[in-house]
Amino acid sequence: MSQRSRVIDLYKNLLHLGKDWPKGYNFFRERLHAAFLKNKDEKDAEKIEKLISHGNFVKKEIETLYVLKKYRTLKRRYYDNN
């Protein structure tokens, strides 16, 4: 898979994850777009690989936050201490 297609795939995955963002989809989309535009002229292959790996790390962190939010909601729902 080429670097270009990996970057596009990462962007699409992050955009999809942004649909459940607490501050709203538009806020997330604007910030994501700005982050990708900031590095659009990068030509160094090693630097691009670092950016892709950082993007994958951010994707995993967002997924983890969503799972934690669901866990806390379920815990509150079923184990309320009243």
pLDDT for res 76 = 87
Q: Which residues of 68-78 are buried (b: 16+ CB within 10 A; e: fewer)?
A: eeeeeeeeeee
User: What is the per-residue pLDDT for 59?
Assistant: 96
What pLDDT does residue 25 have?
A: 94
User: Per-residue pLDDT for the chain (82 aa), expressed as one digit of tens each?
Assistant: 899 999 999 999 999 999 989 899 999 999 999 999 999 999 999 999 999 999 999 999 999 999 999 998 888 888 876 5
Helices (H) and strands (E) in the chain, counts: 3, 0
